[in-house]
Amino acid sequence: MANVLPPEFADLEPFADWAIPTERARYAKRIASSMDELQAFYDAAYPRLESSTEYLQQVSMDDIGEEDKHLLWLFCSLVTVAFPVEAWRQARVPDSGASSIDAVLEPAV
């Protein structure tokens, strides 16, 4: 499969399926994943987020390219996956049962 992320982030290509454009779909993938899968994605992506502040600050939202868009979406997935990994120890919010809060409007990118 062709690479979808910027070349500097080639090591994250195995996790490219987390480059998902909407919050609703990112959250759906999170709750459909096992803790092992979430942990593996987190362990690979978190250190790259931590060391990429400068890179991300140079990606302008006005003319963001396709590869950077994918990278941004992948890190947006990391944001939602951080909750189970860092706090909940489970994919769902504890005691949230059948309740849901759905994104009905969000920025295009």
Partner 1 sequence: MAHFTKPDEGSWTEHFKIGTEPISYEDSVSPEFYELERDAIFRRTWLNVGRVEQLPRKGSYFTKELDAARTSIVVVRGNDGEVRAFHNVCRHRGNKLVWNDYPREETSGFCRQFTCKYHAWRYSLEGELTFVQQEGEFFDLDKSDYGLVGVRAEVWEGFIFVNLDPENTTPLREYLGEFGKGIEGYPFDKLTQVHKYRAEIGSNWKLFIDAFAEFYHAPILHGGQYEPEERAKIQKYGYQALAYDVDGPHSLVSSWGGIAPPQEPKMVKPIERALRSGLFGPWDAPDIGLTTEQLPPAINPTRDPRWGMDSFVFFPNFMLLIWRPNWVLTYHYWPTSYNTHIFEGTAYFVPPKNAFERLQQELAVVSFKEYGLQDGNTLEATQTMLESGTVTDFPLCDQEILLRHLHNTAGQYVRDFQQRQAKPAAPSRS
Q: Which residues bind partner 1 (CB under 8 A)?
A: 23, 46, 49-50, 53, 56-61, 64, 68, 71-72, 75-76, 78-80, 82-83, 86-88, 93-97, 99-107, 109
The 8-class DSSP code of residue 94 comes to: T
From the list 24, 108, 8, the residue with the least C-alpha distance to 62 is 108
Q: Which CB atom, from 34 or from 57, has the smaller least distance to partner 1?
A: 57
Q: Which CB atom, from 1 or from 99, has the smaller least distance to partner 1?
A: 99
Three-state secondary structure call for residue 107? coil
Three-state secondary structure call for residue 22? coil
Question: Minimum CB separation from partner 1 for residue 106, in Å?
Answer: 5
